[in-house]
Structure 1
Amino acid sequence: MRILAYLATLISLLPSVLAAPSSTLPARYAVHERRAAEPLHWHLSRRANPSSALPLNIGLRQQNIENIEEMLMAVSHPSSPTYGQHWSAKQVVETFSPTNETIGSVLTWLMDSGFSSDKIRVSGNRGWVQLHATIAEIEELLHTEYHVYTHLETGEEQIGCKTYSLPVRIQEHVDLIRPTVHFNHHPSPAYEVNKRFGGLGVGDDVGPTMSPKKVQASASSDSPGDLSECDSMTTLDCLRALYNINYTPVATDKNTFGVVEFTPQAFLEADLDLFFANFSPSQVGTRPVTVLIDGAVVQTDNQAPSFNVESDLDLEYAMGLTTPQPVTLLQVGDLVEGGSFDNWLDAVDASFCTFEGGDDPSQDGIYPDTQPGGFDGPEDCGILPPPNVVSISYAQDESSVTPAFAMRQCAEHAKLGLMGSSVFYSSGDRGVAGNGNVCLDNDGTPDANGVKFNPQFPATCPFVTAVGATQINPGSTVSDPEVACMTRIFSGGGFSNIYSLPDYQSEAVSSYLTNNPPPFTAQRFNNSGNSRAIPDISANGANYVVAVNGEFRLVFGTSASAPVVASIITLVNDARIAAGKKPVGFINPAIYSDQFKNGLNDITTGDNPGCGSNGFSAAVGWDPVTGVGTPNLANLIPLFLNLP
């Protein structure tokens, strides 16, 4: 079953599933969305002021969206006759723009509800309708109630509702409406970064300071450094040895590689130089090409591992592994609001962006930012083409998003794949548990005492590549097989509670469940055999030597694994571009195919504990701990070069 067609069916069924007969709900109305889970650490304070203004963004149902998986496979599957024939941005807009019928139906509904045309606007890409109204007017329109919620520790406030309803005849034309049920599970960015990355789930585990050995020559694959301590200190040369990286880019003027970071996370120039001086002397003084999105700043006022380690780690290894390829830093969000996944998608895909923001104030930074000190310019829409490869080491629990939200955002990642981008997300660092080791109760609600597995989003989106973590066993060498990472962190993996099983991994998942049946019932995980499974691929996630705040520390996490795999695919793209071919784009159909088995190192040992269990176990072939294994660049390049 096609993934987004399945989701469309799921959402069309929500009214009958969620809406019990009610004397307060008109007969021709039905519940359209219900909050996915009640937020932790927030409490309901009071009813929202009915006279307050609340700009409402209505996401219109896109046409042809039910065919997007098939369209993506046509340009991504290695056996497809149209492999690599990626789309233009214009073609994406024209293919998925909502129909005139959808736009007309929604506008008629709003005007029939008493709103004048001067309060209604349609975005330039036709994907959103914005309504300017008061909370009282919106409550009547959506048959809901808005409340103010207060964060228990910070006192920050936001508004939201638990459900909202639409006329049955309008539901087929609307994906979702914001702000409504999509609740912000992280308050201000500065608060969360000081709480050890709790909001977006950056999972780095930072160890004590240490003193790595200095390389004796330029850190090139021809002059490897000391590999004797790779089981306790992961360096550029360790990764080159593990993944057979012996390639110097030659098409750097045509290739692009982007790394996403969310303010106030920021790299320090002195840290880059300290790292390069020790491991890649020729790169001292090299900086990323910085693109500031929505008033972003590479801030230096707050300096601590909690503020600097993620960006330092990502850039030190992405730049070190792909030199001399320029790396683009996509820094997202101002210091007041920060940003989230929709914000960076806006910047690379204008078709996702609205005239004043289709982003959700409970999930994303909303710009112009009217708060004191906030960025007061318009949000950045389509300010750069999507990079050929994008690495994102951030995540949130899938349980925190609604099916409609998940569907809409995942479709945007599919569009990036159609345009030729490979997007990599970390799969999480708590095994089968969510951020902060939080699991779910039987109803799918976050619960400190829950035992149901809690996978990570957007990694569970079937149109991105989810990256898990491996490690070298203590006492082993780079020549020995790696195992699933079980030092300080556990590779995030499992089965989605939202997305159905994509065709490209159906055989692999079925084989795993048949030959290695997990010892759990449906009370633990989605054991239907028909759900999207993660991760897709893995790389080392333990003992990274990172220069942060003027000293070296060991860092652990899938947020290290993601930029490593992204770097390797960037090198693959370089080889294809140099040969006159296009970038690989969405790689999942290729890495799951039989013809790419020689390009991967199968990981068969280890598990990913969480939620009071040992989690899943690694096995021969794909598994929900390490995916299809780790990449072997020397073997991957000819395999991808053999494709059109």
Structure 2
Amino acid sequence: MRSALAALVVIALGLLASADPVLSPYSLHEKRHNIPAGWSYNRKHDSSAVLPLRFALTQSNIDDIGEHLMDVSHPESPNYGNHWTAGQVLQMFSPHEDTVNAVRNWLMESGVERERIRVTPNRGWIVIDATVEEAERLLQTEYHVYSHASGTEQIGDILTGCTTACDAYHLPEHITPHVDFVTPTVHFDAKVRVNKRSDTGSEGTARTIGQPGSGSHPKTTGAITTLFNELEACDEQITPICLRALYGLVYEPLAASKNSFGIVEYTPQAYLQSDLDMFAANFSTDLVGVAPYMVSIDGEGYAQTGETGFDYNGESDLDLQYGMNLVTAKQQVTLYQTGDMVEGASFNNFLDAIDGTYCTFEGGDDPTQDGVYPDYAPGGYTGAEDCGTVKPANVISTSYAYNEADLTPFYTARQCAEYAKLGLMGVTVLYSSGDYGVAGNDGLCLEANGTQSVNGTIFNPSFPGTCPYITSVGATQVNPNSTVYEPEGACEQVIYSGGGFSNYFAMPDYQKEAVAYYLKTYPPQYPPDIWNASGTSRGLPDIAANGANYVVAIDGGFELVYGTSCASPVSGAIFTMINDARLAVGKNPIGFINPTIYSSDFAGAFNDITMGGNQGCGTAGYTAVPGWDPVTGLGTPNFPKLVAKWLLLP
């Protein structure tokens, strides 16, 4: 079992007087302005300790990735649907040889032996094991140790942070253009709520995304005493027939063998087959006994059943029960079960498995943040790390998220580019937008100094929802005392649809017209210091689907469940069926959908939501209005209209 108090490597501002001469002057490369909540200073780090120093090399042509993605994704492009192969992606974006040589030569000229310098197979990273003293000299900074308190336990890991109001590290000016960022340095890479499980020693970093209560997760009001399955009762209980009626999803797959739908779950959260069978017995008898196709990523090859309860089974049971039902028993659903019971996993571990160009043990993951495999801790996954071992499904839905402010801009930009690469390869990537309105997970809002707290007043958007290369999904509801034949409203029961404007990412071209109309016609009446009022930042969500009163079989009983966690797999199922229709007539999958759904050709293809809001941070939040809005996006899917429009595209 790991120690309940572990050290956290932290980097602090300050040039070292003892730094050796370099080939060019040093300049500030990256900094942060505060210590994240929960971290406290421990001591100066031991100068002889060894750090896994990792330099993220600047990728070639990465500034043009949005243009390349638009070229295959915009309905008016002559190359629409001509998706790239993984080899073409690697060839286009692999760091240039000049970049590799520049960083390697600088390290050698700074006293690092050539044999210690490792270039990862994807050429994306250069890695050295350096002592703290050596790292401090290379980066002209200082490393300190912090620890993190969570509840009554002390936990920690090798992470980075600060000791002063403005900590940073530095690089020579001739190296700066060749390096995105360096770890471990200033990245407290995930400040999701931390949970340490005393029986496994799982730690609270980026890989805690699957830990019970961490990040974005569904909510429940408890057990259902009477089960309804009638359209008249959809304002009280959502079942599959309600969703089919709401979105016109009456369709039988025709090309299932050519199609694929993937749902991502993070260990220790996992489904129970008995729950899937219980749900199927009531709503889809042909699915009784049917399991999703399991693809284990850095795990034991199964979905754990030792830990049960809503926090362990609620998410996975929900995602799979509705995802499998809506695509019917004819379409196999792939479950990407990610991480083992000891290390857990981060989004990067999943990306490693489906994109080999992103992955390698030495560099593709941050061993201070991401699960690192083989994991020789008791009960850990001892197999080789999954790296490019998994073919991505045509549609991938994930109902987990961080707050954007949990992560640094460099970290999010690097990961966001990976979603663009998946889009280039024809993959539709969906993420839930969060359940706390304009606030972040657990109702945390930003303070003026960049920290997060429940008393903050600045809106706190989610990530990856703010990445312009994924489709962010918000939540709606059948309004009380209304029917499925009446317009839905924004979800205001138990949860509030996550939405707002990014503090990191610029507004993508495909969104500019819709967001400009919203800001001009319905300008939010809030001071600009509590939301990004620049008019130039990425808005979210893109679309929405029902997220209230879902009937879900969990641990042998039915419960009512709420969340954008519901909306993402439902939307994924609908887009999977649209892919089926296209594949059946010999066309390609829809891939990255945002340029298409925001285009004038698709006007009216979503059910516009004009009621409700997404309160948070001590405000009423934004309001759902005609057209796009930062509560429900463009609206909810209208399957008959969408499939007809997509069938007309090349």
**Secondary structure of the residue that 1:507 maps to in structure 2?**
helix
Code of the aligned partner of 2:234: C
Q: How does 1:441-520 map to 2 (within 5 A)?
A: 441-520=447-526
**Distance (Å, rounded) in 2 between the aligned partners of 1:30 and 1:568:** 50
Which of 58, 77, 80 is the equivalent residue of 1:80?
77
Alignment match, 1:105: 102
Deviation of 1:189 after TM superposition, in Å, equals 6.6
Alignment match, 2:129: 132
2:61 aligned with 1:64: yes
Code of the aligned partner of 2:310: P
Q: How does 1:32-181 map to 2 (within 5 A)?
A: 32-35=29-32, 38-153=35-150, 154-159=153-158, 160-162=160-162, 163-181=168-186
Code of the aligned partner of 1:304: G
Q: How does 1:174-253 map to 2 (within 5 A)?
A: 174-183=179-188, 184-186=190-192, 187=194, 190=197, 197-199=212-214, 201-213=215-227, 226-253=230-257
Alignment match, 1:317: 322
Code of the aligned partner of 2:317: D
**Distance (Å, rounded) in 1 between the aligned partners of 2:100 and 2:209:** 44
Alignment match, 1:334: 340
**Distance (Å, rounded) in 1 between the aligned partners of 2:588 and 2:47:** 54
2:587 aligned with 1:581: yes
Alignment match, 2:391: 385
Are the equivalent residues in 2 in contact too, given 1:148–1:157 (CA < 8 A)?
no
**Secondary structure of the residue that 1:228 maps to in structure 2?**
helix
Q: How does 1:3-22 map to 2 (within 5 A)?
A: none
Code of the aligned partner of 1:258: G
Code of the aligned partner of 2:462: Q
Range with bigger deviation, 110-119 or 161-170: 161-170
May I ask how many residue pairs the two structures share in their alignment? 616
2:276 aligned with 1:272: yes
**Distance (Å, rounded) in 1 between the aligned partners of 2:35 and 2:420:** 29
**Distance (Å, rounded) in 2 between the aligned partners of 1:100 and 1:361:** 25
Code of the aligned partner of 2:220: V
Are the equivalent residues in 2 in contact too, given 1:182–1:363 (CA < 8 A)?
no
Code of the aligned partner of 2:254: V
**Distance (Å, rounded) in 2 between the aligned partners of 1:309 and 1:90:** 38
**Secondary structure of the residue that 1:74 maps to in structure 2?**
helix
CA offsets per residue over residues 251-296 of structure 1, 9 Å max, x none? 1111111111111000001000011111111110010001111125
**Distance (Å, rounded) in 1 between the aligned partners of 2:36 and 2:13:** 22
Deviation of 1:39 after TM superposition, in Å, equals 2.4
Code of the aligned partner of 2:256: T
**Secondary structure of the residue that 1:55 maps to in structure 2?**
strand
**Distance (Å, rounded) in 2 between the aligned partners of 1:492 and 1:23:** 47
Code of the aligned partner of 2:316: S
Q: Alpha carbons of 1:188 and 1:336: their partners in 2 closer, same or farther (altered >3 Å)?
A: farther
2:293 aligned with 1:285: no
User: Which structure 2 residue ranges, 5 or more long, are not aligned?
Assistant: 1-11, 163-167
**Secondary structure of the residue that 1:132 maps to in structure 2?**
strand
Range with bigger deviation, 597-606 or 351-360: 351-360
Range with bigger deviation, 550-559 or 164-173: 164-173
Are the equivalent residues in 1 in contact too, given 2:16–2:142 (CA < 8 A)?
no
Deviation of 1:50 after TM superposition, in Å, equals 2.6
Alignment match, 2:9: none
Q: Alpha carbons of 1:243 and 1:602: their partners in 2 closer, same or farther (altered >3 Å)?
A: same
Deviation of 1:203 after TM superposition, in Å, equals 2.9
Are the equivalent residues in 2 in contact too, given 1:57–1:358 (CA < 8 A)?
no
Are the equivalent residues in 2 in contact too, given 1:37–1:399 (CA < 8 A)?
no
Code of the aligned partner of 2:82: Q
Deviation of 1:448 after TM superposition, in Å, equals 3.1
**Secondary structure of the residue that 1:54 maps to in structure 2?**
strand
**Secondary structure of the residue that 1:158 maps to in structure 2?**
coil
Range with bigger deviation, 117-126 or 411-420: 117-126
Are the equivalent residues in 2 in contact too, given 1:356–1:379 (CA < 8 A)?
no
Code of the aligned partner of 1:295: G
Alignment match, 2:597: 591
Code of the aligned partner of 2:268: P
RMSD: 2.0
Which of 352, 360, 364 is the equivalent residue of 1:346?
352
Alignment match, 1:262: 266
2:426 aligned with 1:420: yes
Q: Alpha carbons of 1:84 and 1:237: their partners in 2 closer, same or farther (altered >3 Å)?
A: same
Deviation of 1:28 after TM superposition, in Å, equals 1.5
CA offsets per residue over residues 82-141 of structure 1, 9 Å max, x none? 000000000000000111110000000111111111111111111111112222221221
User: Which structure 1 residue ranges, 5 or more long, are not aligned?
Assistant: 1-17, 215-224
TM-score (norm 2): 0.91
Are the equivalent residues in 1 in contact too, given 2:505–2:537 (CA < 8 A)?
yes
Q: Alpha carbons of 1:360 and 1:196: their partners in 2 closer, same or farther (altered >3 Å)?
A: closer
Which of 552, 555, 563 is the equivalent residue of 2:561?
555
Q: How does 1:622-641 map to 2 (within 5 A)?
A: 622-641=628-647
Deviation of 1:361 after TM superposition, in Å, equals 3.3
Range with bigger deviation, 550-559 or 587-596: 587-596
**Distance (Å, rounded) in 1 between the aligned partners of 2:299 and 2:248:** 40
Are the equivalent residues in 2 in contact too, given 1:37–1:400 (CA < 8 A)?
no
Are the equivalent residues in 2 in contact too, given 1:356–1:378 (CA < 8 A)?
no
Deviation of 1:370 after TM superposition, in Å, equals 4.3
Are the equivalent residues in 1 in contact too, given 2:210–2:344 (CA < 8 A)?
no
Are the equivalent residues in 1 in contact too, given 2:210–2:266 (CA < 8 A)?
no
CA offsets per residue over residues 376-398 of structure 1, 9 Å max, x none? 33311111122100000001110
Which of 358, 362, 375 is the equivalent residue of 1:369?
375
Are the equivalent residues in 1 in contact too, given 2:211–2:268 (CA < 8 A)?
no
Code of the aligned partner of 1:165: H
Q: Alpha carbons of 1:591 and 1:264: their partners in 2 closer, same or farther (altered >3 Å)?
A: same
Are the equivalent residues in 2 in contact too, given 1:600–1:632 (CA < 8 A)?
yes
Deviation of 1:147 after TM superposition, in Å, equals 2.7
**Secondary structure of the residue that 1:238 maps to in structure 2?**
helix
Q: Alpha carbons of 1:136 and 1:368: their partners in 2 closer, same or farther (altered >3 Å)?
A: farther
